[in-house]
A and B are shown apart, each in its own frame.
Chain A
Amino acid sequence: MKKGLISKVQRYSINDGPGIRSTVFLKGCNLNCMWCSNPELIDFSQSYLDGKPVGELISVKDVVKEVIRDIDFYKESLGGVTFSGGEPLLQSDFLLECIKLLKDYSIHIAIDTALYVDKKIIKKLLPYVDLWLVDLKSIDDITHIKTTNVSNKIILDNIKFLYKNNVNMWIRCILVNKENYDLDELKKRLNFIESIKKCVKRVDILGYHQLGVSKYQKLNKEYLLTNEALLSDIQEKEVEELIKEYVLPIYFERGI
């Protein structure tokens, strides 16, 4: 049976999809976002944070065994299991086995992904995934490359592919002042989302927050953002105004 490199399973997870969920964090990511709040999950091998190992090889059976313990909570709240990371699609064989087993229990499955992967991977998961939580970090490719290290071409293409396959999507847009945010850019992102709206069940716009900063020091990694990355009150208001122009179900959470 396959094993996956997992940092943790978070239970009573309420920010990663509908209802009460368990979120399985898979380690390893092929993006390098400037604002990443889980930098300890970027490497594809075990690392250390606060002297504790992050990432352990865990079998499909053990993951499933742990998450089905909360099945009653999922059923009551219309929740389920979310695979997040890192980039969960990079461990797609493991992922597929987990999901197939969970589907035997009729558990709702969400995948939290940046979609920077080969389409074949998505194709093979498609029939088993109930909800795709897709990050759209910038519509402008130069900005995307600058802030995440990769081009958004594949990502946009994959979003369109999901759209064609008529899946359920929640799209998440992080706003980082001076890096990926200006009003015009957000408009473009939202316009793009509007163009695929029949698949988009929800849009979460998240103001930049500094919760991950202390981890950088501990990991000896350089953190490039400063306070300036926070949206100003005026900017937050303009976002709120802009949202009103769309019929999309948009939720805006201010940063802290």
Chain B
Amino acid sequence: MQLLEMKIDNIDTIDFKRIDRLRKIMQNRKASLCSERAKIYTEVFKETEEEPMILRKAKGLSKTLNDMSIYHLDDSLIFGNQASRNFAAPIFPEYSIKWLLDEVDSFEYRDGDVFNVSDEVKKDLREIGKYWINKTHEDNVNNNIPQINLLAEKQKVLHRGGISNSGDGHIVSDHKWLLEIGYSGMVDLINEKLKNPDLSDNQINFYNASKMTLIAGLNYAKRFANYFKEKAKLNNDKKLYYLSEIANKVLDGPCESFHEALQAIYLNHVFLMIESNGHSFCYGRIDQYLYPYYQNDIKKGVLTKAKALELITHFFIMNNSLNKIRSNGHTLFSQGYPLYTNVMVGGLLPSGEDGTNDLTYLSVEAMGLCRLNEPNFSMRYHKESPKEILSLASKLIRTGCGMPSMFNDATCIKGLIDLGIDKEDAYDYVAIGCVETGVQGKYGHRATGMTYMNWGKILEIVLNRGFDPNTNIRLFKLSKEPKSYEELWNDWKKALAFYSELSFESDRVCDRSLEIYDSSPLGSIFIHNSLELGKTLKEGGCEYDVVSQSNIGSSVVGNSLMVLKKLVFEDKKYTYSQIMEALKNNWQDEEIHKACLEVEKFGNNSDQVDLIVKDVFDSYLELLDGVKTIRYNRGPKISKYTMSTSNITSYIPNGKNVGATPDGRKAQSPLNEGCSPTQNTVSKGLTALINSVSVLPNEKVAAGQLLNTRISYQLLNNEEKIDKFISFLRVSAKKGIYHNQFNVVSNKVLKDAQIHPENHRDLIVRVAGYCAQFVALTPEAQEAIIQRNEYGA
């Protein structure tokens, strides 16, 4: 194993073989289901039917942490397990059960994201399933979704995201605080709060629930202390005695070493992933809040750079032992077993200075050694970022693992400040999941991925004058065919406003239900101001409540409008109905198809079409003014909607539902991903791409503007080219690009991996705002990655 670049003293003290063994375990991991949590929660819920949900949830988590089986992967320096086996997903019946029961026999036959389910687990599920029917979050959502929204879903315009049948997640605890006071310290703070005689019942319940789960977390660590001690005795194993010592005090606070700090944040993470089946539980700026512990240990002489690197690598690798199961439908939107566990390094500090330090460099090297799909590794950069860290990042990108994703501080920070977020907090932003940015320790809700809106479908409905050609459902009226581009544009705006209103209501229905079923006493407590207010995040116990939906197809819509504008309204080369006819028969008319393909497309630095795509963004942004979440005025300083194009793999299934579009796209083929250009429509190179994207209102897309760029390895194959790449990154930042992420793997390798998956289990690719093992994806998703535009030298 080789480092990317760094020269580190005592590098031989790192046990590279051990790292390799751990990596192999994760590379060859097989997903399965574990019923332990589900059985325990069922038992608890049966016994507590009269109690408030927050206490029931707390009791479920506590009992699970106390009773679940624990195990340890021998080689790992980091411990803590989420379920009874490596990469087994727990079941969360309180969120939803129906799809699990319906689909359980098919999980092992999926095209991607396969899960093995033992007969015993199937039996357990069927057994407990009876209890949960009509008692879940999903049932609550289904009972409250308006009829018209269901019709819009049938049209495939709206898709209720994961939050309609699972938890929210998207929590970045205030890890600095967590390390300073530990779970024990938090219990003390809660006890203080409970002395206040004026608390409401709701507050008392919340405090008691949080306390209960914190104590259960402390006990869980103690269980590991005993486990290691017993094992250590068998052969007087020093490492196990050491781990036992760490386990004994890890969450007692304050944290005393770098190793303990890593262990503490990992355990907290695992607990949150047992409490809720949301995803995107993230670590935030590890190079900042872990730095005092690192520095202190180095000063004391108990830690070396090499040892720190080894520990971070183990910590990273262990995140691949966790798992989540999604329904078949949702899996298509979110392929490759993603957990979106984001780690963010680099960037400006709240003081305005650059925060790059030893741990920034070591984290990049650790990711180079880990090279698995989790964590989702991101880097912040700005105009003063040292060239050395950008060079190291480029070398990690060059390995092809798709990381780090590069976030531009200037744009991201401005976007958050414009929303009203305090300056210091905006400077402390992190990615929470994919590209959605928020403030660590202060955001209480997902910044993106509420309801998904298929803009490709909305366009198709506009072109068909209100009708969806697949279902023949019409929810609003449009006049006959548009006589001018302005008329067409107004129709688009009308349709977008109509469906957006529906989608906000879908969001609210999900949110009202999450407030009950995803009440998360543990996940809430280390987010400000949950402790202060005595409420969960979903009740408004957070400082900032900024959410967004996920909008899919901006480039397809903009390109299509451009084609109609030019060919029908300006040049009058074809009539509106001629184009419609060509779309209907999926481009059998080659001449019209060719003409449509030839019209300028987004991503080539061509002003006219770039500005139309910008108009498309603006048309949505102007709808967000004054839209409120259900937490408005209930606690958060700010409660708002913003926008995001972080739409994971949804551009593939969404495309499947959309017929041919005027941009020349064939029926059922994918829409464009994020704000990236449509596949096979760019020819002018990387700089042209950046110039096009810089036209968009990137800083207003403050929950994440996803740009995914595929470049050839030849662009990075020597130091000189890396220098040029760094200049490229710096100019991208200057031009206000929100972020950029890179795929470097050639089609030759990808195609070989399709034929010989067994030889490519180590192939990690950038899918969307996250990375995944290529061989775990469905054939469609694999193909969509192969079809991406590649920028060469």
Instruction: Report A133 CB to chain B, min CB distance, Å.
Output: 15
A12 touches B686 (CB 8 A): yes
Does any Cβ of A come within 8 Å of B440's Cβ? Answer: no
Asked if A20 and B721 sit within 8 Å, CB to CB, the answer is no
CA distance A11 to B690 in the complex (A): 12
CB of A185, distance to nearest CB on chain B (Å) = 27
B734: Cβ under 8 A from any A Cβ: yes
Within 8 A of A (CB), among B752-771: none
Are B721 and A73 neighbours in the complex by a CB distance under 8 Å? Answer: no
Q: Which of B364-372, B531-539, B623-631, B722-730 contacts A (4 or more CB under 8 A)?
A: B722-730
The yes or no answer to B76 lying at the interface (CB within 8 A) is: no
Q: Does B517 contact A (CB under 8 A)?
A: no
A106 within 8 A of B: no
- Taking the complex as formed, is B691 at the interface, i.e. its CB lies under 8 A from any CB of chain A? yes
Chain B residue at smallest Cβ distance from A75: B731
In the assembled complex, the Cα of A70 lies from the Cα of B793 at a distance in Å of 16
Contacts of A13 in B (CB 8 A): 685, 793
Give the docked Cα–Cα distance between A22 and B686 (Å): 11
**Cβ contacts under 8 Å, A69 to chain B:** 605, 687-688, 691
Determine if A15 is an interface residue (Cβ-Cβ < 8 Å): yes
Complex partner residue of B686 from A11, A72, A77, CB under 8 angstroms: A11
A11 touches B688 (CB 8 A): yes
Is B791 interfacial (CB 8 A cutoff)? yes
- Asked whether, in the complex, the Cβ of B687 is within 8 Å of the Cβ of A12, the reply is yes
Which residues of the partner chain A approach B686 to less than 8 Å between Cβ atoms? 11-12
Inter-chain CA distance A77–B390, complex, in Å, is: 14
Contacting pair B727 A70 (CB below 8 A): no
The 8 Å CB contact of B727, one of A10, A11, A22, A73, is A73
Check A19 for interface membership: any CB of B closer than 8 A.
yes
A156–B715 Cα distance when bound, in Å, is 33
Min CB–CB distance B732 → chain A (angstroms):
9
Write the chain B residue with the least CB distance to A21: B724
User: Is A49 part of the contact surface with B, judged by Cβ < 8 Å?
Assistant: no
The answer for the CA separation of A7 and B768 in the assembled complex, in Å, is 35
**How many B residues are at the interface, by size bracket?**
10 to 19
Beta-carbon nearest neighbor of B694 in chain A? A72
A22 vs B688: C-alpha distance in the bound complex, in angstroms?
11
* Cα separation A18 to B686 with both chains bound (whole Å): 17
A14/B724 contact (C-beta < 8 A), A20-B687, A69-B688, A69-B691 known: yes
Q: Please judge, given known A-B contacts A69-B605, A69-B691, whether A12 and B735 are in contact too, CB under 8 Å.
A: no
In the complex, the chain B residue whose C-beta lies closest to that of A20 is B724
Query: How many residues on the A side are at the interface (Cβ–Cβ under 8 A)?
Result: 16
In angstroms, how far is the closest chain A Cβ from the Cβ of B383? Answer: 10
Say whether A76 faces chain B, with CB atoms less than 8 Å apart.
Answer: yes
Q: Which residues of chain A in 1-49 are interfacial with respect to chain B, using CB atoms and an 8 Å cutoff?
A: 10-15, 19-20, 22
A50 to chain B, nearest CB (A): 13
The CA of A63 and the CA of B728, in the complex, are separated in Å by 22
Query: Is B727 a contact partner of A19 (Cβ separation < 8 A)?
Result: yes
Q: CB distance A70 to B687 under 8 Å? A: yes
A14 to chain B: which residues have CB within 8 Å? 715, 721, 724, 793
Please determine whether A76 and B793 come into contact, CB atoms closer than 8 angstroms. Answer: no
Return the chain A residue nearest B792 by Cβ.
A12
The CA of A22 and the CA of B605, in the complex, are separated in Å by 14
* B18 adjacent to chain A (CB < 8 Å): no
Q: Are A73 and B687 in contact (CB under 8 A)?
A: yes
State whether A12 and B791 are in contact (beta carbons under 8 Å apart), knowing that A19-B727, A69-B605 are contacts in the complex. Answer: yes
When C-beta atoms are compared, the residue in chain A nearest to B690 turns out to be A73
Q: A19-B724, A20-B724, A69-B691 are in contact. Are A11 and B684 (CB under 8 A)?
A: yes
Central interface residue in B684, B724, B731, B793, by most chain A CB within 10 Å:
B724
What mask results when residues 40 to 76 of chain A are scored 1 for a CB within 8 Å of chain B, else 0? 0000000000000000000000000000011011001
Contact call B728/A12, Cβ cutoff below 8 A: yes
Complex contact B684–A76 (CB within 8 A):
no
B688–A20 contact, CB under 8 A? Answer: no
Partner of B793, one of A15, A22, A73, A77: A15
B577-588 Cβ-contact flags toward A at 8 Å (1 or 0): 000000000000
B734: chain A residues within 8 A (beta carbon): 72, 76
Q: Which of B688, B721, B731 is close to A76, meaning CB atoms less than 8 Å apart?
A: B731
Smallest CB–CB gap between A201 and chain B, Å?
A: 13
Give CA–CA (A76, B690) in the complex, Å: 14
| Residues of chain A lying within 8 A (CB to CB) of residue B721 | 14
> Do A72 and B735 touch across chains, with their CB atoms under 8 A apart?
yes
Interface string of B679-699 (1 = CB under 8 A from A): 000001111100100000000
Least CB separation from B604: chain A residue: A11
Cα A161 to Cα B336 with chains together (Å): 62
Annotate B512-549 by CB proximity to A: 1 below 8 A, 0 otherwise: 00000000000000000000000000000000000000
A73 to B735, CA, bound (A): 10
Complex CA–CA separation, A77 to B730 (angstroms): 9
A–B Cβ pairs within 8 angstroms, 9 of them: A12-B685, A12-B686, A12-B791, A13-B685, A69-B688, A72-B731, A73-B728, A77-B731, A79-B727
Which B residues lie at the A interface, using CB under 8 A? 605, 684-688, 691, 715, 721, 723-724, 727-728, 730-731, 734-735, 791, 793
Instruction: Give 8 new A-B contacts, CB below 8 A, not counting A72-B731, A76-B727.
Output: A11-B687, A12-B687, A12-B715, A15-B793, A19-B727, A20-B724, A70-B688, A77-B723
Residues on A lying within 8 angstroms of B by beta carbon are 10-15, 19-20, 22, 69-70, 72-73, 76-77, 79
8 smallest CB-CB distances across A and B, nearest first, come from A77-B727, A11-B685, A12-B686, A12-B685, A70-B687, A76-B727, A11-B687, A76-B731
